[in-house]
Amino acid sequence: MSRHLKVFALISVLALVGAACDGDGGDETGGEPGVVEHAAGSTADAYIPEYRAPELFGDLFNISTDEHLTMFEEGALAAQVLASGDADVASGGFTNMAQLVEAGQDVKVFCPIQKDSTEHLIGRTDTITSLEQITDPNVSVAVESAGGFLNLLMNLVFLNRGLGITTDDLTNTVILEDGSLRLAALAAGDVDVGSLDLFEQADLKAELGEDAVTVLSVVAEDAEFLSNVMWAKTDWLAENQDLAARYCATILYSNRVLASDFDRYLEVLNQYIVGGVEDEDVAQANWDFARQYEVWPYNPSVLTADVIADQLKVSVDTGILEPSTGELSFEDLVDSDILELAQQYLGGDVTLEDVEAGNIPEPSV
């Protein structure tokens, strides 16, 4: 499949849809709560602290606590919705935003959503027990279509493990764009390797048995990156700078609070996961994992020039982005003014030790 397929899809959407979507709230912190229409590029439960932040803590930042969230199975779909003008902001993999730039869209990142990832590369033990076996033509691997976040994630792991391959070198692949699809395929034996978050991994082990599942890579150990970011069109950001900063601050504040209090985190999971949490041990494992690897960013400062440069380089080296895109600067792709304003609203930086101790500054709005 051509790696330009999703870019072509974006261009097609732009040609068909021309509606504009304006954020409500502007730069006023004392007026009506700001409304931000958010197109999210995942349906995974691992993103609940960030996705549900406005509903949980929006009142502290004068952000509407009504739901203004639409979730999609992949970041590219969220990017298309933003490009068409049917959302104010979108979130997903960094490459989803960069591909919009390649398609001629004037967009910038203005908030980190997740650092690293809760994803694991999982294999069916009867077929594969080591990541080095992944190139075996008899091993079927679930990937995303060209330019997908999962491909970038796997390529970063391959690079850091010194395998000298990319997903393009795998000869036996199946395109599955969402974790729930990869979970079902692994359970059915339709694929031998797939990327799952901790909740999905627990479901697979419950169905197949602990010994039937092998963890081939803990991604947060094998790759340092920003797995999920938020972006918007630059004209929207210019007109809604304060609103964007408050929205970002709401998300990072939610990360701080829920990482400091497991009972509160569990309460939120039960509020938003359909049917509630069936196994509290899984929720505890996810919470411990997020804290251990600081998966949920607490400060806007995790969006650094070095991190962006590294992700551009890997994306270009593995054929996901054009070389010209790799030459873009931090300033070309990130609205640092909004990051700085969000940090002010958060009351300053916090350390991991602050979060673990529950020392969370009061919002300064």
pLDDT tens across 35-86, in order? Answer: 999 999 988 888 899 999 999 999 999 999 999 999 998 888 999 999 999 9
Is residue 317 located within the same domain as residue 201?
no
Q: How far apart, in whole angstroms, are the C-alpha atoms of residue 301 and residue 16?
A: 37
Convert 285-332 into a string of H (helix), E (strand) and C (coil): HHHHHHHHHCCCCCCHHHCCHHHHHHHHHHHHHCCCCCHHHHCCCHHH
pLDDT value of residue 203: 93
Domain boundary at 201, 222, 243, which?
Answer: 222
pLDDT tens across 310-345, in order? Answer: 889 888 877 788 999 999 999 999 999 999 999 999
Is residue 364 included in any domain, yes or no? no
Domain containing 168: what range? Answer: 120-222
Q: How far apart, in whole angstroms, are the C-alpha atoms of residue 79 and residue 85?
A: 10
Of the pLDDT bands very low, low, confident and very high (cuts 50, 70, 90), residue 13 is: very low
Domain count, the chain: 2
Q: Which CATH number covers residue 155?
A: 3.40.190.10
Q: Note the pTM of the prediction, 2 decimals.
A: 0.78
Is residue 365 included in any domain, yes or no? no
Say yes or no to pLDDT of 15 above 80. no
Say yes or no to pLDDT of 234 above 90. yes
Is residue 281 located within the same domain as residue 302?
yes
Is residue 53 located within the same domain as residue 88?
yes
The b-or-e profile of 6-30 (16+ CB within 10 A means b, else e) is bbebbeebbeeeeeebebebeeebe
- Residue pointed to by tokens 């600081």: 294
Is residue 363 included in any domain, yes or no? no
Is residue 108 located within the same domain as residue 162?
no
Q: Which residues contact 328 (CB under 8 A, 6 or more apart)?
A: 98, 101, 312
Is residue 154 located within the same domain as residue 187?
yes
Domain boundary at 222, 240, 257, which?
Answer: 222
CB-based contact 146:296 (threshold 8 Å): no
Of the pLDDT bands very low, low, confident and very high (cuts 50, 70, 90), residue 282 is: confident
Is residue 111 located within the same domain as residue 244?
yes
In 3D space, the residue among 152, 122, 185, 193 whose CA is nearest the CA of residue 41 turns out to be: 152
Is residue 362 included in any domain, yes or no? no
Domain boundary at 189, 222, 255, which?
Answer: 222
